[in-house]
Amino acid sequence: MTIAVADARDKKKRAFNWRSVAVHGCLIFGALLMIYPLLWLASSSLKPANLIFSDLSLWPSKIRLQNYVDGWRGAALPFSTFFMNSFIVSGLAVVGNVLACSMVAYAFARLNFIFKKTLFAVMMLTIMLPLHATLIPQYALFHKLGWVNTFLPLTVPKFLAVDAFFIFLMIQFIRGIPRELDEAATIDGAGPIRIYWSIILPLLTPALVTTAVFSFIWTYEDFLSPLVYLTSMDRYTVPQGLSLLMSSKGASSWGPLLAMSLLSLVPLFVVFFIFQRRLIEGIATSGLKG
């Protein structure tokens, strides 16, 4: 029996070359299809308006860098304002999520306290909760506090660990850290705060990086919250800037719009290329949505 299996495997190996060429061919074709729209975006952002829709080739026959200049200044305010706002909001969101979620995760993973089971169940339920369920009363609350048209409604919730998914991610990770380390530190006289800061936090780094990367991406891409809370243009984030540019210009200015669209994706590309292993691991192990 084993000989038969080995024989079959040998045959497979000999026939494998052709099959593997076919599979690679399919995969490469699929990959091209997948990124074709992005390549098209990149090439169109460099084309003069009359070529965007008539010239199919990805290599522009005429390059027009002016699209970027026109786009940058195309909306009522330059894109530097929007990028700055986006980076402030996303940066604060990263800090907030990393700090707050790690604290809460440490408590759930390592400390004993009353109502722990109930609170854990509540935390898990809030992960499932659609954002719209709380949107309107939250808006009313922030309106009362005078926070509308500031960055506070977009950032303060992160410092209050509202993105419970990251708490769950970190709890799972902390459970993998040997408890002996905590015990040894306790014997040496360290309390929970010290253990959190000097033992758990450094060992939690991979999960913190995953959290930071996803917090950045999601906050940077988020359109609904800025749309609701940021009302004056000098506070707009990049997605709002793009939306503004799209509606303020006629169909004649696709070049600048596409140029700014591509530019707005650059920070995401950078994060992706630096952290792709972390990102993919984060999704594979915890089911984070991309």
Partner 1 sequence: MSTTVSEATSLEATASSEARPRRRKAVGINARHNGVAFLFLSPWLIGLMFLTLGPILASFYLSLTSYDMFTPPQWLGLDNYVKMFTEDGRYYQSLRVTFTYVFLSVPLKLAFALGIAMLLNRGLKGLGFYRSVYYLPSLLGGSVAVAIMWRQVFAYDGIINQVLLKFGIDGPSWITSTDYALYTLVALAVWQFGSPMVIFLAGLKQIPQDIYDAAEVDGAGPVRKFFSVTLPLLTPIIFFNFVMQIIGAFQAFTPAYIISGGKGGPADATLFYTLYLYEQAFTNFQMGYASAMAWVLVAIIGLATVISFKSARYWVHYGDER
Footprint on residues 77-96 left by partner 1 (CB under 8 A): none
Burial class (CB in 10 A: 0-12, 13-18, 19+), 112: exposed
Task: Please give the Cα distance from 241 to 147 (Å, whole number).
Answer: 21
**Span interacting with partner 1, options 60-68, 170-178, 204-212, 275-283, rule CB under 8 A:** 275-283
**Span interacting with partner 1, options 62-70, 84-92, 170-178, 255-263, rule CB under 8 A:** 255-263
Short-list 118, 146, 128, 130, CA closest to 231: 146
Task: Work out whether 162 is an interface residue with partner 1 (CB under 8 A).
Answer: yes
Task: Work out whether 38 is an interface residue with partner 1 (CB under 8 A).
Answer: yes
Task: Work out whether 201 is an interface residue with partner 1 (CB under 8 A).
Answer: no
> For 178-213, b where at least 16 C-beta lie within 10 A, e where not — what string?
eeeebeebeeeebeeeebbeebbbebbeebbebbbb
How far the first Cα of the chain sits from its last, in Å, is 45
Interface residue with partner 1 among 146, 191, 202, 250 (CB under 8 A) is 191
**Shortest Å, Cβ 82 to partner 1:** 11
Task: Work out whether 26 is an interface residue with partner 1 (CB under 8 A).
Answer: yes
**Shortest Å, Cβ 236 to partner 1:** 11
Task: Work out whether 11 is an interface residue with partner 1 (CB under 8 A).
Answer: no
**Shortest Å, Cβ 100 to partner 1:** 4
Interface residue with partner 1 among 69, 131, 270, 274 (CB under 8 A) is 131
Show the binding pattern over residues 58-77: x = contacts partner 1 (CB under 8 A), - = does not. Answer: --------------------
Whether 278 contacts 271, CB under 8 Å: no
Within 211-240, the residues that bind partner 1 by CB under 8 A are 217-218, 221, 223-224, 227-228, 238-239
Whether 96 contacts 158, CB under 8 Å: yes
Instruction: Count how many Cα atoms sit within 13 Å of the Cα of residue 260 in the half-sphere of its side chain.
Output: 26
**Span interacting with partner 1, options 59-67, 83-91, 137-145, 168-176, rule CB under 8 A:** 137-145
Interface residue with partner 1 among 68, 171, 242, 256 (CB under 8 A) is 242
* Rounded (10°) angle between helices 79-110 and 238-248: 140
Interface residue with partner 1 among 49, 124, 272, 278 (CB under 8 A) is 272
- Report residue 61: phi and psi, to 5°: -75, -25
Whether 261 contacts 82, CB under 8 Å: no
